[in-house]
Structure 1
Amino acid sequence: MTFSRFVTITALALTIAIVPRAVPAGAQVKPGDVITPDNASKVEGLVSPGNLILVRQGMKMKIVPTGHLDWPPPYKAATEQYSPQVSLTPDGELKNYVAGLPFPLVDADDPHAATKIMWNFAFRPLYTDDVDARGVEIVSHAAGSADPIEHFSIGHMGFYKYVGRTEVAPVPVDKDILNTGIAFRAGAYPILDPPELRGAGIIMQGYAIPGFEDAVWEYSSGSRKLRRLSAAGLSDSFGVSKTGAAADGGANAGSTTYASTWDPDSVFGFSAKIQDYTYRLLGERPMLASVEAANSPAQPCASDGGRSVCPENWEMRHLYVIEATAKPRSPLGGSVIIPKRIFYIDSEGWFITASDQFDIQGQLWKTIVTFNTYRDRPVPDAKVAIWPFKRIFETALVDEDVTDGFSTVIYSPGPDGHDDGWYINMGLVDKTFFTPEKMVQAGH
């Protein structure tokens, strides 16, 4: 396929993707509208059922015109070069992937469309090589109280990828993957606040080897011990589970709640292993998403007691709706506590805009909404993190338990942060950064 023909096909596909389709009955939004609890019915069917609960409890939305998200030029070039060779194995594994978007054109009638969409999400254009997010704050609120229940601050949160690299050498693949089988490293450490958890953290190394469970370590600053966790435990909340039992918390587990609804598997909307779930495409829909946020850093929502981010820009987007069901695990592997999630995935940026999560009884339990902005720098006064092109940055993620209104907001960076926040594909973290040794060293 020639480059010009590829560009023509891709442009046509993106044009089709953003053309508004049939709008659900009752949906009457237009640019300039402000959505509040009083007129929340206007967005029914245009946001997920869980996100609608957030709107009804006070998350104000400002409707703006639909924009266009362009990919970083190196990612475009990698997609054009490598995507023609990519396919799926019979069991849904990615085959012959090197870099760029695996499947630029997805046919909704393809029986494997949902799996292809999820692989596109896994290798989306937003973060391909390495990420170091600094000044991340995690704030939890209970319904009916404007005072935070818990506040976490994390020094570094991010990853290093071995495959799909487009901007920082080595590209497109770190050949260490051939020796170790490790496809990526990720982590969040050290915790800076609360003081009693200062120095703690968690890291993960994900494997490209089929059937090989990812390795997870937690460092407890209280006991100064490093311990291995089950990958299944990453679907549990950062603080307290739905039943009220303390989640894995090292020496502190059971002595305090460290209340949070957010689980590590929900970073960026979903960060569990793609192969650990089965997927079903529920449809393609014109829906609202926060894609070009006006505020970075994001600002807490005053009208719902800080349980979300508002008021913020929302626009009509063409989204894929995917149902993800966790595969059964062996008794040794444990079982996830969120067996089903429904994702809303942007068809241009391939990131999750929202996710509804269901408990083991099949009832809606939690909802996630991500807030994103599209700029050449993550914050207006950035000093270092500046690019010659625009890219997407997640400004915040809201994770609320809709059964009781308890909510956790992840700000990236925090509202009062004095750092650039996001350092994407800049080589500031390498493959040694997210390792047990570095985490323990930083925690001392």
Structure 2
Amino acid sequence: MKVKLEVVVMAAFLILAIAGAPRAGVNPGDTITKDQADKVADLVSPGNLILVKQGMTMKIVPSDRLEWPPPYKSATEKYSPQVTLAPDGALKGYSAGLPFPLVDANDPQAALKVMWNFSYRPLYTDDAISKNVEIASYKPGSTAADPVEHFTIGNVGFYNNTGRTEVNPIPTDPEAKNSGIRYRFGAYPFLEPAEMRGFGFIRYRSLDPKVEDNSWMMNPRTRHTRRASASELSDVFGLLDTAAGGGSGGAGTYASNLDPDSFFGFAAKIEDFNYKFLGEKPMLAVVNAENSPAKACPTDGGRTICPENWEMRRLYVIEADAKQASAIAAGASIPKRIFYIDSEGWFITASDQYDRDGKLWKTIATFNAYRDRPVPDARVAIWPFKRMFQTALVDEDVTNGFSTVVLSPGVETDEHESWYINMGLATENFFNPVAMSNAAH
């Protein structure tokens, strides 16, 4: 296994050497403006190229390595030899670390292995809390200081029962066997706008590929928590309509592109999609963000983040198509997505989303950092090694230019440390629907 990881490291050096070479006239030190968008036409996704053309300025910097946290690397060495894929694509024998350290592009199961690696990526292995996450929506012609809508979420949190590497119990919480829950996710309470104050949702992901997520939503108008269907988490309008008390008025009142299935680039159940391996490609991505909090782009009215550091990376390009039965059952609003996944950090750097007619509909760009603290002046959230985390996400409807920007940390709060990763702060109680209801009151 040590030999295998040495091969992985050597391959990473080769990848970065290739990625760092000058390509298509783009070199470290260059600044790409909308007038120079053609220079990066082959180096970003088609959807992200639209963002550049509308004004998202890019600063090109040298490529760097992303080291895994030492506990995650050790877990990969120990456990990955026992991991396999079942005939139905389910993961077998997984305990912790990266399931598949080596992915062969010629492997018929390469796409699925990449997706499982993404699902168990080294970003948040045990638990995480992000405080005062801000979400702002913009339309063409608006300014960064004047969004169409502005949301603040008090807490966004995860708790993983499997794949744990830093906080006891390691590597598996006994609850995984007892309850069959793989992980819990929660986002609540919404603090603004005033009409949504108290809104939130909780989501449980099952280990069983045949069991869909269990979800609950807190309705701020009725002041009651209710069970939510999978379709409400795959379509932003379902979430907003629920918050408004039902009916189409909710979608018009709360303007946003973001759907819970697109958090962090992709948050739907892996088993609900078929995957195609479209290749490996040197492309630009933000993995070493300079700014935290991220800065709204002044050259496109705040619709993206800029200028920010973009570097050449080796990305896996994966197509995800909703399985017909699952899509019908869940009411999937995004039947096709194309992911661009970093081959070292294993997070999604970009995602283009297509409508039912196969036309490009939305694009996501993620902005990620790699350091030992979320902000330079952090006093609590300081880790003993560098780790990866997301500073911002842009989700734009490219058919009309309407954009939603997620900031973690946000800019309007005194709590700027934001990310508390693998520090044991996300406890089971946070993911209790009763706790969500109490927070709303």
1:5-404 alignment to 2 at 5 Å? 5-20=3-18, 27-146=24-143, 147-237=146-236, 247-251=241-245, 253-256=247-250, 257-329=253-325, 333-404=329-400
- Following TM superposition, by how much is the alpha carbon of 1:226 offset from its aligned partner in structure 2, in angstroms? 1.3
Aligned 8 A contact 2:20 2:62 in 1: no
Secondary structure at 2:201 match in 1: strand
CA deviations on 1:135-185 (whole Å, 9 max, x unpaired) are 200000011121211000000012100000000011100011111101100
Structure 1 window deviating more from structure 2 (115-124 vs 11-20): it is: 11-20
- Structure 1 pair 368/332, CA: closer, same or farther in 2 (3 Å)? closer
Secondary structure at 1:29 match in 2: coil
TM-score normalized with structure 1 length? 0.95
- Following TM superposition, by how much is the alpha carbon of 1:337 offset from its aligned partner in structure 2, in angstroms? 0.6
Secondary structure at 1:302 match in 2: coil
- Following TM superposition, by how much is the alpha carbon of 1:238 offset from its aligned partner in structure 2, in angstroms? 5.7
- Structure 1 pair 332/365, CA: closer, same or farther in 2 (3 Å)? closer
Cα distance in 1 for partners of 2:426, 2:228 equals 23
Structure 2 residue 411 is matched with structure 1 residue 411: no
Secondary structure at 1:82 match in 2: helix
Cα distance in 2 for partners of 1:201, 1:306 equals 26
Secondary structure at 1:353 match in 2: strand
Unaligned runs of 5+ in 2: none
Cα distance in 1 for partners of 2:125, 2:183 equals 11
Cα distance in 2 for partners of 1:348, 1:332 equals 34
Structure number having the greater helix percentage: 2
Amino acid paired to 1:251: G
- Structure 1 pair 339/436, CA: closer, same or farther in 2 (3 Å)? same
Cα distance in 1 for partners of 2:15, 2:99 equals 17
Cα distance in 2 for partners of 1:127, 1:92 equals 23
Amino acid paired to 2:90: E
Aligned 8 A contact 1:132 1:428 in 2: yes
Amino acid paired to 1:217: W
Cα distance in 2 for partners of 1:53, 1:248 equals 32
How large is the Cα RMSD of the aligned pairs? 1.8
Q: Percent identity?
A: 60
Unaligned runs of 5+ in 1: 241-245
Cα distance in 2 for partners of 1:326, 1:59 equals 30
- Following TM superposition, by how much is the alpha carbon of 1:331 offset from its aligned partner in structure 2, in angstroms? 8.9
- Following TM superposition, by how much is the alpha carbon of 1:17 offset from its aligned partner in structure 2, in angstroms? 3.0
Structure 1 window deviating more from structure 2 (416-425 vs 170-179): it is: 416-425
Cα distance in 2 for partners of 1:138, 1:211 equals 33
Cα distance in 2 for partners of 1:284, 1:7 equals 20
- Structure 1 pair 204/370, CA: closer, same or farther in 2 (3 Å)? same
- Structure 1 pair 271/186, CA: closer, same or farther in 2 (3 Å)? same
Cα distance in 2 for partners of 1:11, 1:22 equals 16
TM-score normalized with structure 2 length? 0.96
Pairs aligned (count):
436
- Structure 1 pair 377/279, CA: closer, same or farther in 2 (3 Å)? same
- Following TM superposition, by how much is the alpha carbon of 1:7 offset from its aligned partner in structure 2, in angstroms? 3.9
Aligned 8 A contact 2:26 2:39 in 1: yes
Match of 1:435 in 2: 432
Secondary structure at 1:296 match in 2: coil
Aligned 8 A contact 1:238 1:262 in 2: no
- Following TM superposition, by how much is the alpha carbon of 1:233 offset from its aligned partner in structure 2, in angstroms? 2.4
- Following TM superposition, by how much is the alpha carbon of 1:253 offset from its aligned partner in structure 2, in angstroms? 4.9
